Amino acid sequence: MFQGASAINLDAKGRMSIPAKHRDALAIQCEGRLTLTRHPDGCVMLFPRPVWEQHRQQIAAWPMQARAWQRIFLGYATDVEMDTAGRILISPELRAAVGLDKEVMMMGMGSHFEIWDAAKMAEKEALAMDAGTPDVLANFSF
């Protein structure tokens, strides 16, 4: 289970370093083989390859009515591998599609990660807080 937030800077080539706290787990779980794809909320999702393979099979089986959504998820999917320095390259097309700039946030989301432009994520969080707690969380407490 991946959790936690990490502030990261993309280099001039669009590479990002996987935080050390996740690098070892990813090396063990999937030998550093990862898949990146677009999320319609405006971020990049990063999956260990075996986890992505399960999702990919489900997405590929969707009916024709979901073709546009298949293009979003499968069309942007890119297989990457961590280099010896623990970095991955986010393609220019994927960075442009979700508006990633230099400063990004990598969020552990359980089985995968989300990679957000830091400013866009701050805006989304502020909007969520302003909107109040959704009804689905009415009975949730810590």
DSSP string for residues in 80-123:
EE--TTSEEEPPHHHHHHHT--SEEEEEEEESSEEEEEHHHHHH
CATH code of the domain containing 92: 3.40.1550.20
Q: How confident is residue 42, by pLDDT bands cut at 50, 70 and 90?
A: very high
Q: For residue 58, give the 3-state DSSP assignment.
A: helix
Residue 138 in this model has a pLDDT that exceeds 90? no
Is 119 part of a structural domain of the chain? yes
Is 142 part of a structural domain of the chain? no
Which residue from 34, 6, 31 is spatially nearest to 111, judged by alpha carbons? 34
User: Across the strands, what pairs with 79?
Assistant: 35
Q: Encode pLDDT of 76-90 as tens digits.
A: 999 999 999 999 999
Is 18 part of a structural domain of the chain? yes
Tell me how many domains the chain contains.
1
| H/E stretch holding 24 | helix 20-30
Residue 141: the pLDDT is: 84
Residue 91 in this model has a pLDDT that exceeds 90? yes
Is 137 part of a structural domain of the chain? no
Is 99 part of a structural domain of the chain? yes
Is 24 part of a structural domain of the chain? yes
Q: How confident is residue 2, by pLDDT bands cut at 50, 70 and 90?
A: very high
- Domain extent, residue 97, equals 2-132
Cα–Cα distances (Å) from 88 to 19, 84, 122, 130, in that order, read: 11, 10, 24, 35
Is 141 part of a structural domain of the chain? no
Is 49 part of a structural domain of the chain? yes
DSSP 18: P
